[in-house]
Amino acid sequence: ELARDLSYLIEQAAVTGNGFQKPLGVLTASADGINTDRDYSGGTTATTFTFETFIGAKYNMKSQYRNRARWMLNRTHISNIAQIRSESGGAPNTGSFLWQPSMQVGSPDIMLGLPVDENEFFPTATGTGTYFGILACWEYYVFAVGLDMEVQRCVETRASKNQIEYVARAKIDGMPTLSEAFTRLKFV
């Protein structure tokens, strides 16, 4: 349970961390990580996006990174994307769905030929300037582990309540190492 709880903290910091006593997150604009020139908001408003948003974001990334990239969004936005239809059917909402759900258990859903990952730590909020997703070549997000997780068992600290306290420690850092291997999706 401690390892699972620690992994949640690490994952959350890798998404939204500010780099101070935690990893530098991919949704934190920084000259040390991902610059704001990697933000893409074509086709968005303050509250909506179109499928053209994702087409533009895909081709905002160089092919050498794009071929190994993956989308990452919160499930709320993934649900909204999965409901987008082409208008080739004539009337609105009669065309085919543009989302390609996985046909095999354990395989990711596909959008524009690239895998889609769901992450609960990505924002569900909308509004001007809000990041809502990323297209990332994750090879260029690097973690450094300075100390494997160690656990200390403290029997006496909660003895009056008949409880045992555990303290876990780990020294872990992380950051994007190449800005151009990422494209952040942002509402205008």
Question: Which tokens belong to 19?
Answer: 């780099």
Per-residue pLDDT of the chain (188 residues; tens, 9 = 90+): 888 888 899 999 999 999 999 999 999 999 999 999 999 999 999 999 988 999 999 999 999 999 999 999 999 999 999 888 876 656 666 777 778 888 888 889 999 999 999 999 999 999 999 999 999 999 999 999 988 888 899 988 888 999 999 988 889 999 999 999 999 999 99
Stretch (H or E) spanning 117: strand 114-118
Whole-number Å distance between alpha carbons of 172 and 169: 10
Specify the pTM. Answer: 0.88
